[in-house]
Structure 1
């Protein structure tokens, strides 16, 4: 009986001052046990907890520029 090849590990990359980038698709489980399925080819996971879409990053960690006058 042939054996199936081992699945390649997912790659996760930490971005200094930003999100954790994970090759998708991925299923995320937060500290409360809530599950989020992300089917994108790359998923940005919020590390600063400022995201309104937590645990998905919405770039809230970026400094905001003041509007020009």
Structure 2
């Protein structure tokens, strides 16, 4: 089965994230490919990163604040 590659722009539109958020993913280690000035990411990689971060946000909100 062939891997599906998305452009940075398509990934941001599809996941409804800001390009700066995408850049944060890359800065934190998400692998991308650059070709002729365009950034590409494997669909499964960016979706996994997105899900992991969303789950992390929910876990943070669900934890009661110790006082």
| Normalised TM-score (structure 2) | 0.28
Q: Which has the higher helix share?
A: 2
Q: Which has the higher contact order (CA 8 A, sep 6+)?
A: 2
Q: Give the structure with the higher percent strand.
A: 1
Give the TM-score of the pair, scaled to structure 1.
Answer: 0.28
Could you say which structure has the larger radius of gyration?
A: 1
